[in-house]
Amino acid sequence: MAATSVQVAAIGGNITPRMAKTSDPSSSHSNPLGDELRATRAAKPCVLVIFGATGDLTKRKLVPSLMGLAKDGLLPPGFAVVGFARRAWSDEGFRTECADGVRQFGRSQTPECFDALGDAFTFHQSDFGDRAGYESLKKKLEQIDRSRGTAGNRIFYLATPPSSYSAILQNLAATGLSTEKDGKFARVIVEKPFGRDIATAVALNDQVRAAFRERQVFRIDHYLGKETVQNILALRFANGIFEPLWNEKFVDHVQITVAESIGVGSRGGYFEESGIIRDMIQNHLMQVLTLVAMEPPTSLTADAVRDEKVKVLKAIRSFRPEDVDSNTVRAQYTRGSFGGEEVKGYKNEEGVAAESVTETYAAVRLHVDNWRWARTPFFLRSGKRLPRRVTEVAITFKQPPLSLFDGGRWQTPNVLLLRIQPDEGVALRFGAKVPGPDVHIRDVRMDFRYGTAFASESADAYERLLFDSMLGDGTLFARADEVEEAWRIVDSIVAGWKHSARRPEEYVAGTWGPERADSLLGPGRTWRKP
First-residue to last-residue Cα distance in the chain:
46
> Rounded to whole angstroms, how far apart are CA atoms 120 and 112?
14
Q: Which of 55, 93, 387, 530 binds ligand NAP (CB under 6 A)?
A: 55
x/- map, 59-98, ligand NAP, by CB under 6 A:
-xx-----------------------xxx-----------
- CB contact at 8 A, 70 and 14: no
Size of the site for ligand NAP (CB under 6 A): 20
Question: 205 in helix, strand or coil?
Answer: helix
How distant, in Å, are the alpha carbons of 53, 101, 109, 193, 423 from that of 64?
Answer: 13, 6, 9, 22, 22
Binding of ligand NAP by 159 (CB under 6 A): yes
CB of 32 to ligand NAP, least distance (A): 22
x/- map, 416-455, ligand NAP, by CB under 6 A:
----------------------------------------
> Rounded to whole angstroms, how far apart are CA atoms 180 and 9?
26
CB of 162 to ligand NAP, least distance (A): 6
CB of 164 to ligand NAP, least distance (A): 5
CB of 177 to ligand NAP, least distance (A): 16
Binding of ligand NAP by 161 (CB under 6 A): yes
- CB contact at 8 A, 61 and 462: yes
Backbone angles phi, psi at 196, to 5 degrees: -120, 0
Closest CA to 280 of 265, 307, 260: 260
Q: What contacts 220, CB < 8 A, 6 or more positions away?
A: 189, 190, 191, 192, 465, 477, 478
Among the options 29, 124, 253, 284, which is catalytic? 284
> Rounded to whole angstroms, how far apart are CA atoms 431 and 425?
20
DSSP state of 287: H
CB of 148 to ligand NAP, least distance (A): 23
Closest CA to 511 of 421, 420, 366, 384: 384
Identity of the residue, 58 or 396, whose beta carbon is nearer to ligand NAP in the bound complex: 58
> Rounded to whole angstroms, how far apart are CA atoms 83 and 171?
16
Q: Which of 22, 28, 30, 54 binds ligand NAP (CB under 6 A)?
A: 54
Identity of the residue, 20 or 277, whose beta carbon is nearer to ligand NAP in the bound complex: 277
Residue 251 pairs with which residues in a beta bridge? 397
> Rounded to whole angstroms, how far apart are CA atoms 503 and 493?
14
Only one of the segments 48-56, 169-177, 296-304, 452-460 lies at the binding site for ligand NAP (rule: CB under 6 A); that segment is 48-56
Only one of the segments 21-29, 156-164, 281-289, 345-353 lies at the binding site for ligand NAP (rule: CB under 6 A); that segment is 156-164
x/- map, 111-140, ligand NAP, by CB under 6 A:
----------------xx------------
Assess whether 284 carries a catalytic annotation: yes
CB of 170 to ligand NAP, least distance (A): 13
Q: Which amino acid is at 440?
A: H
Binding of ligand NAP by 209 (CB under 6 A): no
Contacting residues toward ligand NAP, per CB under 6 A? 52-57, 60-61, 85-87, 127-128, 159-162, 164, 191-192
Could you list the active site residues? 284
